[in-house]
Amino acid sequence: MPRVKRGTKRNDRRKKILKRASGYFLTKSKLYQAAQEAVERGLKFAYKGRREKKRQFRSLWIVRIAAACKLNGTSYSQFISGLKKAGVELDRKVLAEIAVHDAAGFSKLVDQARAAQSKAKAA
């Protein structure tokens, strides 16, 4: 079998890792082995961070909705329960946007939720 020289493939792979590691501190941006470890570690944190971001945004939306509910004299849990009973299918992201940018619209939603809650109690 003929001899295979892997110079270009190897250099390309190393260049790709070192390019990803640019900006890292000291040897982590200069030496291949240290750079490879740092890049793999960074990718692991990036993967984890993409999932954590979703959790953090959901909790932010809940805090915003709860604050708007308090201003309208109800609790977050009662508001969400009332919306479910009223058949309003808005997610928390949209509810948070309404709470921040349209106070009048949010108070109408609170009234809807209250009406559904009282109707459910009466039945």
17-72 pLDDT per residue, tens:
999 999 999 999 999 999 999 999 999 999 999 999 999 999 999 999 999 999 99
Calpha distance 24→35 (Å, rounded): 8
Of 38, 5, 47, the residue nearest 19 (C-alpha): 38
Calpha distance 16→6 (Å, rounded): 16
Question: Would you kindly state where each structural domain of the chain is located, as residue ranges?
Answer: 7-122
Q: Does the model's pTM come out above 0.85?
A: no
Do residues 71 and 30 touch, judged by C-beta distance below 8 A?
Answer: no
Per-residue pLDDT band at 3 (split at 50, 70, 90): confident
Calpha distance 38→113 (Å, rounded): 51
Fold of 7-122: c-terminal domain of poly(a) binding protein (1.10.1900)
What pLDDT, on a 0 to 100 scale, did the predictor assign at position 122?
87
Return mean pLDDT, the chain. 96
